[in-house]
Copies of this chain bind each other. A is one copy, B any other.
Amino acid sequence: MKSKEVVLRKRPEGMPTDDDFEIVEREIADPEQGEVLIHNTYMSVDPYMRGGMREASPLGEPLHGGAVGKVVASRNDDFKEGGYVRHDFGWREYLLSEGRGLRKIDATLAPLSTHLGVMGMPGLTAYGGLLVTGELKEGERVFVSAASGAVGSTVGQIARIKNCTVIGSAGSDAKVDYLINEYGFDHAFNYKTANILEELRKGAPEGIDVYFENVGGRQLEAALAHIRLYGRIPVCGLIASYNDFETATPGPRNLGEIIHKFVSLRGFVVSAFEQQRPEFLRDMSQWIKSGQMKYKETIFEGIENAPTAFQGLFSGVNDGKMLVRLSDG
């Protein structure tokens, strides 16, 4: 059987171009004992992949990335034909696998594509970071930065579902409007033009209980200044250069605020929440079906368009999660 794959032809210099990629066709064997054949349905393109193209991704090999696909042939008892899986071997139509790195998904819970978004890693990051690390309680006041992103928009909507007051920041007035009108944020502002601390005071006059941290810098300083006693700051991301320590952005000047306010900052990555995955899938499925959880996708058709979709990430073509559909699923 023939499978089209996208391989890295050369390392992009500056913005990636069509020349950096090549579509090749490869013969895929039938599954041997223990193997399973996957026909990919959706693959994800994400900005982080640009980093991998610098060194980690081997030239002439198919690129890696999140994908969901259907089991079309199986000689592995763990995977039944017709079932669906999520894995990190995207950028190809077919995958022959011994089962390592495949996670079965229940396609009845939500549209298949959402398993690369709100039902997947960004969703679990938001859910675990807010409810487990952030210990959010009903009725609290939440601030989330980068609120129009895949994680941030999910954080804000979960907080709304938990009857919390939600404040979000984003980098354009259009995104700010969207936070209010589509995602139901109580208050939102453009962090590039607004006085951040004043906006927090407007949105939560009594202070905030949880700051879901995606950014660092001035937003963290404002959050520390306006956080309440026993406030929690789950730290999902920070603008800071780990490789270039000496020139990295300094931490907040007012970190001392945490002392007399008994505040905690806690770092986490999504792997911390494997235990919560079943309840996350159950809750999120219900929220999607009831219309309480919204998400945006931009979908390109066909593996030939994957390089174009990837390049589009850097010119702002996408609105929400950028996906490529490889088959009907």
Residues of A within 8 A of B (CB): 216, 235-238, 240, 242, 245-246, 248-269, 272
**5 A-B pairs closest in CB distance:** A251-B251, A250-B250, A258-B267, A259-B267, A240-B256
* Contact in complex: B240, A255 (CB < 8 Å): yes
* Contact in complex: B267, A263 (CB < 8 Å): yes
Q: How many copies does the complex hold?
A: 2
Q: Out of B242, B259, B268, B269, name the residue touching A235 (CB < 8 Å).
A: B259
* Contact in complex: B253, A240 (CB < 8 Å): yes
* Contact in complex: A238, B255 (CB < 8 Å): yes
Q: Out of B242, B258, B260, name the residue touching A265 (CB < 8 Å).
A: B258
Q: Which B residues lie within 8 Å of A264 (CB)?
A: 264-267
11 additional contacts (CB under 8 A) given A245-B253, A250-B251: A240-B255, A242-B254, A248-B253, A250-B252, A251-B252, A255-B265, A258-B265, A262-B267, A262-B268, A262-B269, A263-B266
Complexed CA–CA distance, A235 and B260 (Å): 10
Q: Out of B242, B255, B263, name the residue touching A256 (CB < 8 Å).
A: B242
Q: Which B residues lie within 8 Å of A269 (CB)?
A: 259-260, 262
Q: Which B residues lie within 8 Å of A261 (CB)?
A: 267
Q: Which B residues lie within 8 Å of A267 (CB)?
A: 257-264
Q: Out of B235, B236, B253, B263, name the residue touching A251 (CB < 8 Å).
A: B253
Closest chain B residue to A266 by CB distance?
B264
Complexed CA–CA distance, A182 and B62 (Å): 62
Contact A259:B272 (CB < 8 A) given known A253-B249, A254-B242 = no
Q: Which B residues lie within 8 Å of A254 (CB)?
A: 240, 242, 245, 248
Complexed CA–CA distance, A204 and B250 (Å): 26
Complexed CA–CA distance, A166 and B203 (Å): 45
* Contact in complex: A238, B259 (CB < 8 Å): yes
Closest chain B residue to A265 by CB distance?
B265
Q: How far is the CB of A200 from chain B (nearest CB, A)?
A: 16
Q: Which B residues lie within 8 Å of A240 (CB)?
A: 253-256
Q: Which B residues lie within 8 Å of A248 (CB)?
A: 253-254, 256
Greatest chain B CB density within 10 A among A235, A251, A260 is at: A251
A-B contact pairs, 22 of them (CB 8 A): A236-B259, A238-B256, A238-B259, A240-B253, A240-B255, A242-B256, A245-B254, A248-B256, A249-B253, A250-B253, A251-B252, A252-B255, A258-B266, A258-B267, A259-B267, A259-B269, A260-B267, A261-B267, A262-B267, A262-B269, A262-B272, A263-B267
Q: Which B residues lie within 8 Å of A235 (CB)?
A: 255, 258-259
Complexed CA–CA distance, A250 and B237 (Å): 19
Q: Which B residues lie within 8 Å of A255 (CB)?
A: 216, 235, 238, 240, 251-252, 265
Q: How far is the CB of A235 from chain B (nearest CB, A)?
A: 6
Q: Which B residues lie within 8 Å of A250 (CB)?
A: 250-253
Closest chain B residue to A238 by CB distance?
B256
Q: Which B residues lie within 8 Å of A268 (CB)?
A: 259, 262
Q: Which B residues lie within 8 Å of A257 (CB)?
A: 242, 267
Q: How far is the CB of A253 from chain B (nearest CB, A)?
A: 4
Complexed CA–CA distance, A237 and B264 (Å): 14
Q: Which B residues lie within 8 Å of A216 (CB)?
A: 255-256
